[in-house]
Amino acid sequence: MNFVIIGGDAAGMSAASRAKRTMADLNVVVLEKTEDVSYSACGMPYNIADADRKIEDLVVRKAQVFRDKQGIDLLTGHIVEVIDRKNRTVSGTIQYSGKSFRYAFDHLLIATGGRPKIPALPGFELPGVLALKSLDDGRKIKDYIREHCVQKVVIIGMGYIGLEMAEALRERGIKVEMAKPGPDLLPWMPRDLAQAVEQELAANAVPLHLGCEITGIEETDGQLQVVCKDRMLKANLVLVAVGIQPNSEIAVDAGIETGIGNAIAVNRNMQTSDPAVYAAGDCADAFHVVTGEKTWIPLALRANRAGWAVADNVCGKPTELDGIAGTAVFKVFDLQVARTGLCVEESRSYGFEAVEVVIKSSSRAHNHPGATPILVHLVGEKKTGRLLGAQMVGHESAAHRINAAVVALHNKMTVADFVQTDLAYAPPFGPVWDPLLTAANQLLKRL
């Protein structure tokens, strides 16, 4: 039986490895267009922060290891161009030789990931305008900083990657300014929490240009300028961080259905509209555990878990995935930011009668040395009392505290149920009433 996988990062290599472990005689072929497989993409900003570290340090397992130790036919530099569903083949071109290839499949996994969104504006094609998604993107950024002695960077966008890269570049002594067309930093976040992030950025000399309508990028005498309607932002390098989009075109061309965000539509078994074809990772959609509806939120854990699920199904072990809660954590200098589930605006857009609360608590017992403020935002549904979402911002413990709320969302707990959970307590780790419980108690009163 032939199991062919398009894409050799998180979802693709997770599926390939698990399938080979489960069914040793299965013929597994992975077709990866780059030379990089199985690497920690989420670690790239922290690697870029250190000029002495090599980007290759992020590689979890080299391609040859998959070939030698697991018997996976891993082919790099292979660009898949056509999926022929009728004849059950994939074909394309070998990047460096220009030769064509064709492979037959019984089961196919599309794990083509995503790519950065690049605005269709003048100047975004200039050499010093870069984005960060793949390992090669990270390689290009590190090389460009070194070769051009970059002193200042303008980051377009203020999402997770943009904020993490602001810290990484400041760590290297590079000046950073951030710009976006929208009026708010982290618009899904209550203003109390977002202001804490703004203050952290200001304390680390990162100016924000909110409401900056960008019309293009210009280059004059080797100097880049981000052109806005009301200002010009000079830079040696411009980092575009306005989000990503799924690499779903090859599926569309094959007549496979896409859904929200143009991601490939899959069922809970990770099958596409063609039962012999699966999709997983950043190119595929998912079910949201709170709404029960389809969503597209690219997540590393989901990519790995979905790859495992595909392998199990291919190997005859029926496996379904419940879905995702959209859990994310990121670091902004010394500040931890965490979220899961729905914010209040999202809740209302799905028809929930949402009620919210924001509380300020302490990361440790009030009299314990090192205690710092922590802000907690919870959202609940008035009709059922169900917990819908949570956000936290603090200088310690926010990143891991959020996991309690995640478990509550996956189990569809009410706020009243959550209030009764027996969370751990000791003065070095939190107050008697954990900040999440304090917020839940306040939300319960409003509900």
Active site positions, annotated: 42
Question: Is residue 335 within 8 Å of residue 394, measured between CB atoms?
Answer: yes
Residue 199: closest CA among 430, 395, 378: 395
- Output the DSSP codes for 281-350: STTB-EEBTTT-SEE----HHHHHHHHHHHHHHHTT-------B---EEEEETTEEEEEEE--HHHHHHT
Q: Distance of alpha carbon 27 from its chain centroid, rounded? A: 31
Q: Which residue has the tokens 């930011």?
A: 337
Question: Is residue 7 within 8 Å of residue 90, measured between CB atoms?
Answer: no
> Three-state SS across 364-423?
CCCCCCCCCEEEEEEEEECCCCEEEEEEEEECCCHHHHHHHHHHHHHCCCEHHHHHCCCC
The length of the chain, given as a count of residues = 447
In whole angstroms, give the CA distance from residue 215 to residue 93: 37
Question: Is residue 389 within 8 Å of residue 383, measured between CB atoms?
Answer: no
Residue 154: closest CA among 191, 115, 124: 124
- Per DSSP bridges, beta strands 244-246 and 277-279 are unpaired
Question: Is residue 38 within 8 Å of residue 60, measured between CB atoms?
Answer: yes
Reduce the DSSP state of residue 194 to 3 states and report it.
Answer: helix
In whole angstroms, give the CA distance from residue 291 to residue 446: 22
In whole angstroms, give the CA distance from residue 403 to residue 51: 33
Q: Is 127 exposed, middle or buried (0-12, 13-18, 19+ CB in 10 A)?
A: exposed
- Output the DSSP codes for 5-45: EE--SHHHHHHHHHHHHH-TT-EEEEEESSS--SB-GGGHH
In whole angstroms, give the CA distance from residue 380 to residue 360: 18
